């Protein structure tokens, strides 16, 4: 809060026909937080951004179903919007319906949206009188949600009057609103009876919708109705969800569109800006057919909608209640269950956030830099947290497309000099807003065709001969080598090669002749990765001459910390290919994860490309550019599609995000759940590869340090010749987009890059300082800030060579498909250094991430039978074992005979700090499916601070299990925890094996590893 004055109590005698606007006036008069007293009942209304930010804290507050929503429950019951937080159907329906609002589903709905938009346009084309904007927007959005969500056509534009469903719905909403102002004892029987009839009619229409769908025999699950009918939701709840979506899915969107058109008509300059945008996209095409991707290019149009929703958010309030006793803003006591209502239009008018004239319609408030600088909870048109509007992407896509199409096609005349009157029926929309429309006759802009100009390198050939192919094979467990293989393929494509990328096992029977083969491989404990086991087995057994004349190159990826097995597999592949008659193109590359990994990959790539040009270069393209003067590329898809394709990722929607640790605990761990798109599956202990983004504050800081305008557009064309075309950029990008998505600003340059920076620096003292910087200790932005003379030397081409491309990070999935096959859970350490964890720790429900499921090693698959299990984890290493425990609970619930015992050793700091998913583990132990053995480093029991100590203490219990064939699975930190656990098991062996020494213990443990009975999935080493 801005001051410590008491909260004003404002008593009113009655509400008006516009109660929300009445509260807005009270807040204008008395300040941004008040208690309104009506008929003896107080309601706390809040519009102060700082207080709203507190109310949005999911740890302290939750959605409150207050009196207004209680009234809506009279006809929507436990639908998503009106369900209580603890009602089982809320979580069940939310999980069922979330996939319907993933990006892939949005693409499915787009043709339906376009089809209904055409209905509106045909109606307006035929109009001889002014059009009723709110009414026609309602017709359009009702038909869209009916068809897209439920396969039901309300055919609203074939009616002279609004569909009876709309009329009954509006009356139900009005009844809900006016019921709030009733005095006790007044007679409202007639109103209640009329409401009862309307509610019954809504239910009957929805029952008809459900019946029509079931009678059709359709069993697909590509829309809301299909998902619900294919789930375990009961008929009553499906009806409630349909009513909810038919109301929320069209009433609010239609209001947003009507407000946006009103503001554009009243602000001709903004209207012209949107016209310029749509004309640049569609030119003078009379009836454009917007593609899904084109809607994403309508940035100014979207800003107009965002600003209209700022001034008049159509769902204008949401309520929150305290989870526990707390104090709001340090001065407003709230007991558990006490509620506050956020008045969103007034939150959106706070001068401290929105400037001195917050009533002014100004879409530039949603320029990217303005959004980045704004507090995250200052703009809330869709509610907050996991109970925020599930369909906001649907609504914004539909509204953006239609608004752009209308602006492109029509001129608008404010024939009535309309003054805004806002109608309230719990939602908001302009009342009585009509426009005269006519076709636009002047079209000046034409659609711009993207083009890229490619320069050839001086000297030798710049491209290979037509038809030159390259096969890039990878051996990868966690995706690193797969990513490097994709980068190498892209680099070879940059010099004209036709590149194919595949796992090594795809060629386990032999390598093809006629094209170079590049192998990118790693080892795991000295053994091949899961996707390379078949290939290496063939390679060892192959006879002399099996790869005669095949040109090849090998890039090995490893970590010198594992000195005994470092580069073992790629080294053996390189040796055997030579022995079998292969033609080595270049010396084997060695990329060390503990050294300058990126620099080594770049060096190998440059050497390889030069060799390919020497061997296969087109002499006609030596020295001077050949071929056409321009290379013209037609672009499709979104701005990150090329990046997603490069790493085999798809958009996934975050459906839940919360802290797993206590509020006062410094090393925060977060829970993140994503909805898996249709067709994407996973198995317990699999991994999720996630492409991070740099935080906006770091992007802005870097741009400022480089003296770059974040909105400057860059055309990035890889140089023709031997260089690493690692950036997956297929179109011009802004500086902000480049720094956010395509380069890793958190990477710390190694020795080679530091030497180059020192050589580039024109200031001798700074040169010396740079040479003294230890490799891997500072990011490039940090180095530029500390050595400002670098700025003039760091041109964009130099920067792109120095900055590491953004690469996916891999996380163990912490859930089980036996519980929920449509979602994957993650545990993320927010305190962990690095771009990936920081990004995932910042995501919130509704955000989209680019991700892909990656299988874990088969050796790490846990089976539940007669073999005892010993599971060892620390911190977020618990992730795969949470899924394992969930599997065992599901088996027990299904009546499966009890498997052999499972012991789970879990290391954390304290039981009241970071005992992750402690309640779940306690429940599982109570059910007898696992024995949990925690070790608390800050609250040790009997001296057991870490899991290895607890293992040593339990040696007498563990040894018989190991003698029975128990399998040990370890997940956690590779540098401290994993070695400590190995030492504990070796000590256990020595203690229980007479005459055994340390060497015998090492041999015993190595045998367990070889036999797949001791398996690690560790990180950070």
**pLDDT beyond 90 at 646:** no
- In angstroms, the CA 763 to CA 766 distance is 5
Residues of the chain by 3-state class (helix, strand, coil), percent to 5 = 45, 20, 40
Task: Name residues whose C-beta falls within 8 Å of residue 88's C-beta, 6 or more positions apart in sequence.
Answer: none
407 alpha carbon, distance to own chain's centre: 32
> Which architecture, in CATH terms, is 640-802?
Up-down Bundle (1.20)
What is the overall mean pLDDT for the chain?
87
> CB–CB of 986/913 below 8 Å?
no
CATH of 469-618, one of 2.40.128.20, 3.30.70.1560, 3.40.640.10, 3.40.50.360: 3.40.50.360
**pLDDT beyond 70 at 406:** yes
- In angstroms, the CA 273 to CA 391 distance is 28
**Average pLDDT, integer, range 209-231:** 79
Binding annotation for heme: 389
Confidence class for position 286, pLDDT limits 50, 70, 90: confident
Structure tokens at 232: 């375990």
Question: Is residue 761 helix, strand or coil?
Answer: coil
Q: Residue 830: what pLDDT? A: 83
Of 174-183, 196-205, 760-769, give the lowest mean pLDDT range.
Answer: 174-183
Number of H helices, E strands in the chain: 35, 35
For the annotated catalytic residues, the residue numbers are 252, 382, 389
| pLDDT tens readout for residues 593-632 | 756 677 788 889 989 999 999 999 888 766 544 445 555 5
Taking alpha carbons only, the member of 969, 963, 980 closest to residue 1014 is 969
More confidently predicted of 807 and 729: 807
- In angstroms, the CA 653 to CA 673 distance is 9
Residue ranges of the chain that CATH labels 3.40.50.80: 861-1019
More confidently predicted of 269 and 870: 870
Confidence class for position 491, pLDDT limits 50, 70, 90: confident
- In angstroms, the CA 690 to CA 336 distance is 38
**pLDDT beyond 80 at 220:** no
**Average pLDDT, integer, range 372-394:** 88
Which of 562-571, 626-635, 977-986 tops mean pLDDT?
Answer: 977-986
> CB–CB of 254/137 below 8 Å?
yes
**pLDDT beyond 70 at 4:** no
Cα dist. 689→20, 176, 188, 652 in Å? 46, 46, 59, 11
Q: What is the DSSP string of 386-443?
A: GGS-TTHHHHHHHHHHHHHHHHHHEEEE-TT-----EEEESEEEESS-EEEEEE----
**pLDDT beyond 50 at 969:** yes
Give the number of residues written for the chain. Answer: 1021
**Average pLDDT, integer, range 926-952:** 93
CATH class in words for 861-1019: alpha beta
> CB–CB of 534/570 below 8 Å?
no
Q: Residue 636: what pLDDT? A: 59
| Locus of tokens 């055309």 | 715
- In angstroms, the CA 482 to CA 519 distance is 10
More confidently predicted of 476 and 334: 334
Of 97-111, 624-638, 815-829, 848-862, give the lowest mean pLDDT range.
Answer: 624-638
Q: Where are the beta strands (DSSP E) in 704-772?
A: 713-714, 733-734, 743-744
- In angstroms, the CA 46 to CA 52 distance is 7
Q: Residue 626: what pLDDT? A: 42
**pLDDT beyond 80 at 490:** yes
| pLDDT tens readout for residues 681-699 | 999 999 999 999 999 999 9
**Average pLDDT, integer, range 280-309:** 89
**Average pLDDT, integer, range 928-940:** 94
Residue ranges of the chain that CATH labels 1.20.990.10: 640-802
**pLDDT beyond 90 at 981:** yes
Q: Residue 633: what pLDDT? A: 58
CA dihedral angle for residue 559, residue 565, residue 569, residue 574, rounded to 10 degrees:
90
Of 123-132, 227-236, 956-965, give the lowest mean pLDDT range.
Answer: 227-236
Residue ranges of the chain that CATH labels 1.10.630.10: 95-311+383-444
**Average pLDDT, integer, range 425-431:** 88
Taking alpha carbons only, the member of 796, 753, 798 closest to residue 774 is 753
More confidently predicted of 190 and 637: 190
Q: Residue 105: what pLDDT? A: 67
Cα three-residue angle 773-777-783, rounded to 5 degrees: 60
- In angstroms, the CA 788 to CA 757 distance is 12
Q: Residue 447: what pLDDT? A: 30
Binding annotation: 389
Residue ranges of the chain that CATH labels 3.40.50.360: 469-618
Is 95-311+383-444 assigned to CATH 1.10.630.10? yes
Backbone angles phi, psi at 420, to 5 degrees: -60, 125
Q: Residue 2: what pLDDT? A: 45
Taking alpha carbons only, the member of 540, 558, 538, 534 closest to residue 481 is 558
- Please list, residue by residue across 744-778, b when 16 or more beta carbons sit within 10 angstroms of its beta carbon and e when fewer do: bbbbbbbebbbebbbebbeeeebbeebeebebeeb
Confidence class for position 959, pLDDT limits 50, 70, 90: very high
Q: Residue 561: what pLDDT? A: 52
Confidence class for position 834, pLDDT limits 50, 70, 90: confident
Q: What is the DSSP string of 529-568?
A: -TTTHHHHHHHHHPPTTTTTT-EEEEEEEE-TTSGGGTTH
Q: Residue 952: what pLDDT? A: 94
More confidently predicted of 189 and 404: 404
| pLDDT tens readout for residues 745-804 | 998 888 888 989 999 988 888 899 998 888 888 999 999 999 988 987 888 888 988 898
**pLDDT beyond 70 at 1:** no
**Average pLDDT, integer, range 388-406:** 91
Taking alpha carbons only, the member of 1013, 953, 945, 933 closest to residue 976 is 945
Confidence class for position 450, pLDDT limits 50, 70, 90: very low
Taking alpha carbons only, the member of 510, 536, 507 closest to residue 522 is 536
**Which contacts of 332-338 are long-range, i.e. CB under 8 A and separated by 24 or more positions?**
332/7, 332/33, 332/44, 332/51, 338/44
């Amino acid at each position: 809060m801005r001051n410590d004055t008491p909260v004003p109590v404002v008593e009113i005698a009655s509400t008006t026909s516009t109660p929300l606007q009445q509260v807005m006036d009270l807040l204008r008069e008395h300040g941004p937080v008040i208690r309104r007293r009506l008929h003896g009942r107080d309601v706390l209304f809040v519009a102060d951004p700082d207080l709203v930010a507190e109310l949005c804290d999911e740890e302290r507050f939750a959605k409150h179903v207050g009196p207004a929503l209680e009234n809506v429950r009279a006809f929507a019951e436990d639908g998503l919007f009106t369900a209580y937080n603890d009602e089982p159907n809320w979580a069940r329906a939310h999980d069922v319906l979330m996939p319907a609002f993933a990006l892939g589903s949005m693409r499915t709905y787009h043709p339906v949206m376009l089809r209904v938009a055409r209905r509106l346009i045909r109606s307006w084309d035929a109009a001889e009188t002014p059009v009723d904007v709110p009414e026609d927007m309602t017709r359009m959005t009702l038909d869209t949600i009916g068809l897209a969500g439920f396969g039901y056509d309300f055919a609203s534009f074939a009616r002279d009057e609004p569909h009876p469903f709309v009329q009954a719905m509006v009356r139900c909403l009005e009844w809900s609103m006016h019921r709030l102002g009733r005095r006790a004892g007044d007679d409202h029987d007639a109103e209640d009876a009329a409401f009862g009839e309307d509610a019954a009619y809504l239910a009957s229409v929805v029952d008809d919708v459900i019946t029509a769908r079931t009678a059709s025999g359709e069993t697909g699950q590509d829309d809301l109705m299909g998902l619900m009918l294919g789930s375990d939701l009961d008929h009553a709840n499906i009806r409630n969800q349909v009513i909810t979506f038919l109301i929320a899915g069209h009433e609010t969107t239609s209001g947003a569109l009507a407000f946006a058109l009103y503001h554009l008509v009243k602000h001709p300059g903004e209207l012209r800006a949107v016209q310029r945008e749509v004309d640049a996209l569609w030119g003078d095409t009379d009836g454009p057919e917007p593609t899904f991707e084109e809607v994403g290019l309508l940035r100014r149009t979207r800003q107009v909608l965002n600003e209209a929703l700022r001034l008049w958010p159509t769902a204008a309030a949401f309520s929150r209640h305290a989870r526990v006793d707390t104090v709001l803003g340090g001065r407003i006591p709230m007991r558990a269950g006490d509620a506050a209502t956020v008045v969103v239009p007034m939150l959106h008018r706070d001068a401290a956030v929105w400037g001195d004239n917050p009533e002014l319609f100004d879409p530039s408030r949603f320029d990217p830099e303005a959004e980045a600088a704004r507090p995250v909870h200052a703009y809330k048109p869709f509610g907050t947290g996991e109970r925020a509007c599930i369909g906001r992407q649907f609504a914004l896509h539909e509204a953006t497309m239609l608004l752009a199409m209308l602006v492109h096609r029509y001129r608008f005349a404010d024939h009535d000099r309309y003054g805004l009157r806002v109608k309230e029926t719990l939602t908001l929309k302009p009342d009585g807003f009509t426009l005269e429309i006519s076709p636009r006759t002047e079209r000046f802009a034409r659609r711009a065709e993207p083009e890229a100009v490619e320069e050839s390198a001086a000297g030798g050939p710049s491209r290979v001969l037509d038809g030159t192919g390259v096969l890039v094979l990878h051996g990868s467990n966690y995706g690193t080598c797969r990513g490097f293989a994709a980068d190498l393929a892209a680099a070879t494509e940059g010099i004209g090669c036709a590149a194919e990328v595949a796992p090594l096992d795809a060629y386990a029977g032999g390598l093809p002749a006629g094209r170079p083969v590049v192998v990118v491989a790693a080892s795991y404990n000295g053994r091949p990765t899961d996707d390379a086991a078949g290939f290496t087995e063939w390679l060892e057994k192959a006879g002399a001459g099996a790869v005669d004349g095949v040109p090849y190159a090998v890039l090995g990826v490893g970590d010198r910390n594992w000195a005994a097995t470092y580069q073992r597999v790629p080294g053996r592949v390189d040796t055997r290919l030579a022995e079998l008659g292969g033609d080595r193109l270049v010396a084997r590359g060695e990329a060390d994860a503990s050294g300058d990994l990126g620099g080594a990959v770049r060096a190998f790539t440059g050497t390889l490309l030069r060799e390919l040009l020497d061997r296969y270069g087109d002499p006609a393209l030596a020295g001077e550019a050949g071929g056409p003067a321009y290379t013209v590329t037609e672009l499709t898809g979104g701005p990150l599609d090329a990046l997603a394709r490069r790493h085999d990722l798809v958009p996934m929607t975050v459906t839940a995000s919360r802290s797993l640790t206590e509020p006062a605990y410094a090393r925060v761990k977060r829970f993140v759940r994503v909805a898996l798109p249709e067709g994407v599956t996973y198995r317990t202990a699999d991994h999720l590869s996630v492409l991070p983004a740099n935080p906006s504050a770091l992007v802005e800081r870097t741009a400022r340090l480089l003296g770059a305008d974040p909105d400057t557009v860059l055309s990035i064309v890889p140089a023709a010749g031997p260089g690493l075309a690692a950036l997956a950029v297929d179109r011009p990008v802004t500086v902000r987009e480049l720094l956010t998505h395509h380069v890793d600003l958190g990477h710390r340059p190694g020795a080679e890059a530091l030497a180059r920076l020192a050589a580039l620096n024109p200031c001798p003292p700074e040169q010396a300082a740079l040479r003294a910087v230890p490799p891997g200790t500072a990011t490039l932005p940090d180095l530029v800030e500390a050595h400002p003379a670098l700025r003039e030397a760091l041109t964009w081409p130099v920067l792109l060579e120095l900055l590491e491309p953004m690469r996916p990070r891999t996380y163990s999935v912490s859930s089980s498909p036996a519980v929920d096959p449509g979602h994957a859970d993650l545990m993320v350490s927010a305190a962990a250094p690095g771009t990936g964890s920081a990004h995932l720790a910042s995501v919130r429900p509704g955000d989209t991430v680019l991700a892909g499921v990656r299988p874990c090693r088969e050796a790490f698959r846990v089976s539940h039978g007669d073999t005892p299990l010993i599971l060892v984890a620390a911190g977020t290493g618990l992730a795969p074992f949470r899924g394992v425990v969930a599997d065992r609970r599901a088996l027990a619930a299904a009546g499966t005979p009890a498997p052999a015992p499972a012991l789970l050793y879990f290391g954390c700091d304290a039981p009241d700090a970071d005992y992750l998913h402690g309640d779940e583990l306690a429940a599982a132990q109570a059910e007898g499916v696992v024995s949990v053995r925690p070790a608390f480093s800050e609250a040790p029991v009997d001296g057991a601070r870490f899991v290895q100590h607890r293992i040593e203490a339990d040696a007498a219990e563990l040894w018989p299990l190991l003698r029975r064939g128990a399998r040990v699975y370890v997940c956690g930190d590779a540098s401290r925890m994993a070695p400590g656990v190995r030492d504990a098991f070796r000590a256990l062996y020595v203690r229980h094996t007479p005459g055994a020494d340390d060497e015998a213990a090492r041999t015993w443990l190595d045998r367990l590893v070889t036999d797949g009975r001791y398996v690690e999935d560790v990180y950070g080493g």
